[in-house]
Structure 1
Amino acid sequence: MSYIKVGQDANGSDVKLHYIDQGTGNPIVLIHGWPATYEMWEYQLAELPKHGNRVVAYTRRGFGNSSKTWEGNDYDTFADDLNAVLETLNLQNVTLVGFSMGGGEVARYMSRYGGARVARVAFVSAVTPFLLKTDDNPDGADKSVFDDMVENIRKDRFDFLQSFGKKFFGVGVISHPVSQATLDWMQSMCQLASPRATEQCVYAFAATDFRQDLAALKVPTLVIHGSSDDTVPAKNSGERMTQYVPHAQFVEYSGAPHGLFITEKDRLNRDLLAFASGGNIGGTANEF
Structure 2
Amino acid sequence: MPHLTARDGTRLHYSDWGAGRPVVLLGVAMADSRMWEFQAPFLAGNGLRCITYDRRGSGRSDVPWDGYDYDTLADDLADLLDHLDLRDAVLVGYAVGGGECVRYLSRHGTDRVSKLALVASTTPFLLNAPDNPDGLDPALLDQVEQAIRTDRAAWLDALTWPFFTGRPDPDPQGLPISGQLAGWLINLCLDTSPRAGTEVYRTLFTTDQRAETAAVTVPTLVIHGTADLGAPYALCGPRTAELIPDSRLLTYEGAAHGLFATHAERLNADLLAFVKE
Asked if TM exceeds 0.5, the reply is yes
> 1:246 offset after TM fit, Å?
3.0
User: Stretches of 4+ moved more than 2 A in 1?
Assistant: none
2:98 aligned partner: 103
Mapping for residues 85-234 of structure 1, pairs under 5 Å: 85-170=80-165, 172-174=170-172, 175-234=174-233
Q: Answer yes or no: is the 8 Å Cα contact 1:28–1:95 preserved in 2.
A: yes
**3-state DSSP of counterpart to 1:274:** helix
Give the letter aligned to residue 45 of structure 2: K
Gaps in structure 1 of 5+ consecutive residues? 9-13, 279-288
TM-score by length of 1: 0.92
1:6 aligns with 2:1: no
Residue 16 of structure 1 is matched in structure 2 by 11
**Cα displacement (A) at 1:187:** 2.7
Q: What's the CA shift for 1:53?
A: 0.3
Q: Deviations over 1:231-252 (max 9, x none)?
A: 2110110021123113210000
Cα shift readout 1:118-174 (whole Å, capped 9, x = no counterpart): 000000000000001111211210101111111111111111111123211117322
Match of 1:237 in 2: 236
Instruction: Tell me if structure 2 keeps the 8 A contact 1:110–1:116.
Output: no
Q: Is the 8 A contact 1:111 1:217 kept in 2?
A: yes
Structure 2 residue runs without a partner (length 5+) = none
What is the identity, as a one-letter code, of the residue corresponding to 1:186?
L
For the aligned residue pairs, the C-alpha RMSD in angstroms reads 1.1
- When normalised by structure 2's length, the TM-score is 0.96
Look up the equivalent residue of 2:230 and give its one-letter code.
T
Distance 1:92 1:165 in 2: 37
Contact kept? 1:165, 1:186, Cα under 8 Å: no
Which residue type is aligned with residue 254 of structure 1? E
1:57 aligned onto 2:52:
yes
Superposition deviation, residue 183 in structure 1: 2.1
Q: CA shift at 1:31, angstroms?
A: 0.3
Identical aligned residues as a percent = 42
* Count of aligned residue pairs for this structure pair: 273
